[in-house]
Structures are given as structure tokens and as C-alpha cells.
Amino acid sequence: MKAAVITFPGSNCDSDIARVLSDFYSAKVDRVWHKDQFSEKYDLVILPGGFSYGDYLRSGAMAPFSPVMKSVKEHTDRGGKLFGICNGFQILAEAGYLPGALIRNRNLKYVCKTVGLKKASDSNKISGKLGKDQVLRVPVAHGDGCYFASEDIRKQLKDEGRILFLYADENPNGSLDNIAGICSPDFKVSGMMPHPERAMNPITGEMDGKTVLDLVIGA
């Protein structure tokens, strides 16, 4: 597998996800700076977590205008997979790849904790493979993670099986309908607020993040 991890000014999880892809999937990983473009055909492009451009304007709002996003669009136009984690999810929403917006947590506080995730339906081509009552434990770390979208959009996401994950035991940020992640209509683009790369440590036994990445990569 060949993968690209995009690094913006303020990205701080790019090294983590690059190492995970290399160590657990034997992937050839290229780190791509936001000012650069690429012509390489990748199996997967990842927008990592962090605070792109310092989140000074709005979380993820400036990154869509980076030169590298031209190459990202060419990648998705070819049918390549694109996955956004936390700030990467915010960027996908701001860039119009995914509907809705990620707004300030309802408690107005930064939240950093492990939460439960479950599938929304069997019809999701990525997470639908999970067991009916299976709950994955994956950390979140964000201040702007509340998923917001109109009722019509949320109904469409549900009807089309495009909700990637739901918060299972508690909703850490007030996301509408407990939505933790969503997908594009063709399921090639997906984003989620929790960090699967932070739940992939055999020493601690926290490995549910690998289940998440297995699903995303294998879809």
C-alpha cells in the first residue's frame, strides 16, 4: 500500500499516523508538505489531526486553500481513498468533501478522553462490518468536535448509510445524533473526530484503533 500523509502548519498527529501505517501495514508512506503537490498515485491520503494554521480563523477553514489540496482533489477524482482524522475531518467539512460542520464543543471545553464508538447501521460499507453490539474504545482530543448539520442532511446520511461511527456510551462534545464520523456517497472519503492512531499500542493493549483503520483501509 502507498499512502500520503499531508502536513499543514500546526499538524501534530502526522508522525503518529505515518508510523502506524508503516509499522502495522508495511505501507510506503510519503509525508507531503502543504505547499507541495503530488502526482504519485496513492491508495490512501490522510489528513491528520492537529491545529492546521493554528485554527486561528476557524478549525480547518484555511487548509482547503493550501496548494496540496489541488492534488488531493485529483486523487479523489481518480477514486482514491481520503481519510480525515479530527482536524482532518474538520478540513474535509470545510472543503466540502463531507456535509455539515464541526463546531465548538457544547460544554465549551477541550475534551481529551477515551470514548466508545459503534456502527450506525449494517449498510455502511466501512463500519457496517462490525458486530451489532461491538463497541470500540478510541480517544478523542478536540475543542471543536460537535458535528452539526441540518435535519435533512442528517436524515440523508442515515438513509444512505453514510454515518461512519456513533458515540456509544457518552457524547463528549454534543454532536447531533451522536455522530462521530461520516462518509461521502461513494464511501471513498471519510472523516471522524476520534483518533484511531492513538489506540494502537500492543504494550497497553489498546488496539481498537487498528480495527478502525482495518475497516477504512479495507473498504
The predicted model scores a pTM of 0.97
CA nearest neighbour of 9 among 60, 43, 73 = 60
pLDDT tens column, 80-113: 999 999 999 999 999 999 999 999 999 999 999 9
pLDDT tens column, 21-71: 999 999 999 999 999 999 999 999 999 999 999 999 999 999 999 999 999
**CATH value at residue 116:** 3.40.50.880
Give residue 20's region: left, alpha or beta (phi > 0; psi -120 to 50): alpha
Domain count, the chain: 1
Q: Is the pLDDT of residue 219 over 90?
A: no
* Average predicted confidence (pLDDT) for the chain: 97
Catalytic residues: 86, 195, 197
Quote the domain boundaries for residue 16: 2-218
Kind plus residue range of the DSSP H or E element containing 201: none
